[in-house]
Structure formats: C-alpha cells, structure tokens
Amino acid sequence: MISTQLENSLSRSRIEALAQARHEPAWMLSRRLEAREAAHELELPSSRYTQVRGLNLAELQPVGLDLEATSADAVGAKRALPLCDSQDQTDGLLIHLNGRLVHSELQAELAHQGVLFMDFAAALAEHPELIERYLLRESPELSDKITALQRALTGGGVLLYVPPNVEVQRPLKAINLLTEENIGLFQQVLIIAEPGSRVSYVEELGSLDRQLETASAYAGDTRVYVGQAARVDVAGVQNWAPQIFNFSRRQGRLERDGRLRWTFGWLGGRLTLSQVESRFEGPGTQVEDVQIFFADGRQHFDLVSNLIHSQPHTQGKVTVKGVLKDKAKAVFWGRIRIDPEAQQANSFQSERSLMLNEGPRSVAIPSLEIEANDVRCTHAASSSQLDQEQIFYLMTRGLNENQAKKAIVDGFFEPTVRQIPLASAQEQIRALVDRKWQNLPAEV
C-alpha cells in the first residue's frame, strides 16, 4: 500500500484513535470503519458528462479531526470574523476555518428553549443519542469514494436541533472557510426540525479571496428532518476559490404537512457535484428547490435534484437557472419519482440556461418515473444565447454593451432570486454575481 496522507488517515488505528480522542459513541466508530472499508473499494463519482480530473486525492490531508484547541484558532477567528460579518440579522452563527470551529454563537433565548446549534464534533460528544436516532436512520447509500471518505473521516460540521413548536425567527448561519491547499474537508450537517417548528439555516462556503495553487476538496453530507407541519429553509451559497472540488450531498425527509425549501447559489470551485434528494414521506408535504449557478472558465457543475413522492397530496417544484461562459459546463439531472400510493402528487421541474458565448455546454437530463395515475408531473428545459435585439434595445437607452449584457444576465436571475425565501441570501447571490461579472473581461 502506498503510504500517502490520505492512506495514513484512513488506517484503522488512526480512525480508532481519533474516535476515542473525540469521545465518540461506539456506533460512530463502526460507522467510520464501515465507510473506511468501502472507501478502498469504491471509485470516484462519475457520470456520462462528469469526471473528476485534476484532484490528487492521495495527497489530501483531512482536516478538522483533531479537536484540541490551538492558538491558530483564535488567530483564524480574528481573521475570519470581520470578513464574514454580514449585515443581515441572524439568531446564530458558526464559523469553521479549514475544518476547525473558530466561532460560535446562538441567541440565549433560543438556547434556553432547547435549540441546539453547534459544531458536529462537540454535538457527538454531548448529544450522541439524538444524533444516533436520526443519522443512522436509513443512511444514504455509499455510492462512491467521496461519500465513503466523507463518512469515514467526518471532521466538523453542524448540528441544528429545533424542539417541537419552537419558531426560530431569524436565520442561523454556518460559514465554512477553506483557505489551504491539499486539504480534505469532510463535514456532516444534521438538521432536525421537530413537529410544528420553524427554522432557516444558511450555509456559506468560501475561501476569503484566497487563490490556491493546488486543489483541495470539500465533501459535505447534509441531512434534514422536517417533522410534522414543520417548516424549514435550507440555503447554501458556494463561493470557493477556483481550485476547490466540491462534493455536496443533501437529503431532506418530510413528515406529514412538512415544508422544506432548498436554495442554492453555485458560483465558485473548479468542479461541483451536488445531489439534493427530497423525500416526501408524509401526506401534504411540500418541497421547493431553487438553484442558481454562474459558471465561467472551465468550471463544471453537475447538479442532481431528486424528488421522491411516496405519499399522497405532495408538491414538489424544482427551478434551476444558470449562466455559462467561456468553456464552462453544466449538467442538470432532474429526477422525479412518484410511487403508486402517491396520488395527487404535483411535481414540476425546470432548468434554464443562458450562454454568454459559443464555448459553454449545458445539458439537462430529466427523468420521470411515475407509478401513480392521478398526478401532475411536468418538466421544462431550455438553453438560450444572449439576445442581440435586447442588447441593442438597452444600448439605445445609453447602457454600454457590457452594462446591457449584465442587465440581461441580472434579469435572467432576478425572478428566481426573488423566489429565495431569505432576503440575506438574495442579496448575497446578487452581490456575488456582480463580483463574478466584474472579474470578467469587458467584452464577454
């Protein structure tokens, strides 16, 4: 066996030692070890349109496994905090810098009501039964090497727990910063919204404007449990440095009358593979999934949205909108499954992309699997070029060509951005689109 960073970290003894040092429950260790076995056998994720190239997996140093506080944490917090300081009002904030928790706050009243919003590693030591009850419930299959590594080498992450009928008014925000080369950030996010509760969770992934020479990887697994009649918003903005490989897997499970809204803005990174799976496990459940991407250079986004209707009277709506430039590539897999019992399901997905030049490629692959006979299920996909007549029209009002194109791009995103339930996430996506646009040369 070649001894590499990753192999060392994956050794049985290393994993046992870290589980012990982190005071993890026994089931967590077996979970890690099981995934470790699988990691050796599974391949990197790939599809007809997407391959992972240019990531030297063997040399990645997994981070966030060592829990000892270091002086670097305080330095990191000092550096990270002002940059993360968002104008929006939050009820809680967690900041991880290269896998280490460097800042944590939660409104006192919420803590008093029993809301938990904390680093996943600490949560494992403090609330093992709670985590066990949800995390082990029908875990998603380990489908590839990355998902196995994420499970075997889980470092930090987030636990968010909202007790029954507690309504969290303002968003809880988790900021995840990756600023080093050759590291592997493997995270677990677990969100549990008990019946009748309400919460918004916003995740920001970024690199503080660091440009990396060599690749790093982020792999995150997010599990969301929406209890009966609970309402949950999960928003994520990915703005990694260009050398980062992003692997995100998210699963939401809803009980009767629960509502879940996913919102994602994909802007950074080199390659992004994202899977969002929504499982309608109770009647009357509703899911909305809004995703926006802006790809340039040789960026590649491979986005999967999966709606699984297993109960009657469920509603799903997926909206994906993206702008592509240069040689960028986007693949959208929209899957809808409607089980025989899921009568009166209403499921809709649409994917629209706008090309700024001739180079990019955008592919949409819908797949509908419908076994019930009284359902509505539709999909739409389109890809268009910038309209020269629109550009001319705007220019006759005094906007230069670049401004006119930007106005059209903004306009393309705007109706979808307005659908985003969190005002702060709306503003952030607008601002990031602006910034990304400004980095582009004048003539697009």
Partner 1 sequence: MTGELAIKNLHVQIEGKEIIRGLDLYVKQGEIHAIMGPNGSGKSTLALTLMGHPKYQVTQGTISYKGQDLLALSPDERARAGLFLAFQYPFEVSGVPLSRFLLQAVKARAPETKAQSNGRPVRRPLGQFRKLLHEKMEILKVDKSFAGRYLNEGFSGGEKKRVEVLQMLVLQPEIAILDETDSGLDIDSVKIVAQGVNSLRGPEFGALVITHYQRILNYLKPDFVHVMVKGRLVKSGGSELAEELEERGYDWILQEVGAASTESAEEKGADPDERS
User: Rounded distance, CA 54 to CA 184, Å?
Assistant: 14
Range 307-366, binding partner 1 (CB under 8 A): none
Query: What is the chain's length?
Result: 444
Choice between 48 and 418, CB closer to partner 1: 418
Helices 423-438 and 401-419: crossing angle in degrees, nearest 10, is 160
Which element (helix H / strand E) includes 125? helix 120-126
- Pair of tokens at residue 61: 């140093």
With CB under 8 A as the contact rule, the residue among 380, 400, 423, 431 that binds partner 1 is 400
Choice between 217 and 320, CB closer to partner 1: 320
Residues that contact partner 1, how many (by CB under 8 A): 24
User: Rounded distance, CA 23 to CA 26, Å?
Assistant: 9
**What is the pattern of x (binds partner 1, CB under 8 A) and - over residues 408-427?**
x-xxxxxx------------
Contacts by residues 208-211 (CB-CB < 8 Å, ≥ 24 positions apart): 208/79, 208/80, 208/83, 208/177, 208/179, 209/241, 210/179, 210/241, 211/241, 211/242, 211/243
Residue 396 binds partner 1, judged by CB under 8 A: yes
Q: How far is the CB of 88 from partner 1 (least distance, A)?
A: 21
8 A C-beta contact, residue 278 and residue 249: no
Residue spans of beta strands (DSSP E) within 107-197: 116-119, 157-162, 172-177, 183-193
Residue 403 binds partner 1, judged by CB under 8 A: yes
- Tracing tokens 């582009």 back to the chain, one arrives at 440
Q: How far is the CB of 323 from partner 1 (least distance, A)?
A: 12
Choice between 132 and 401, CB closer to partner 1: 401
Residue 395 binds partner 1, judged by CB under 8 A: yes
Choice between 227 and 265, CB closer to partner 1: 265
Range 139-198, binding partner 1 (CB under 8 A): none
With CB under 8 A as the contact rule, the residue among 130, 363, 407, 440 that binds partner 1 is 407
DSSP 316-330: EEEEEEEEE-TT-EE
Choice between 22 and 321, CB closer to partner 1: 321
Choice between 336 and 408, CB closer to partner 1: 408
With CB under 8 A as the contact rule, the residue among 209, 214, 392, 435 that binds partner 1 is 392
With CB under 8 A as the contact rule, the residue among 307, 404, 422, 429 that binds partner 1 is 404
Range 371-390, binding partner 1 (CB under 8 A): 387-390
Residue 431 binds partner 1, judged by CB under 8 A: no
Number of H helices, E strands in the chain: 11, 20
Choice between 4 and 390, CB closer to partner 1: 390
8 A C-beta contact, residue 50 and residue 172: no
Helix/strand/coil for 60: coil
Quick one: which segment of 169-177, 262-270, 326-334, 406-414 binds partner 1 (CB under 8 A)?
406-414
With CB under 8 A as the contact rule, the residue among 122, 368, 399, 444 that binds partner 1 is 399
User: Rounded distance, CA 390 to CA 42, Å?
Assistant: 49
User: Rounded distance, CA 11 to CA 47, Å?
Assistant: 29
Q: Name the site residues for partner 1 (rule: CB under 8 A).
A: 387-390, 392-401, 403-404, 407-408, 410-415
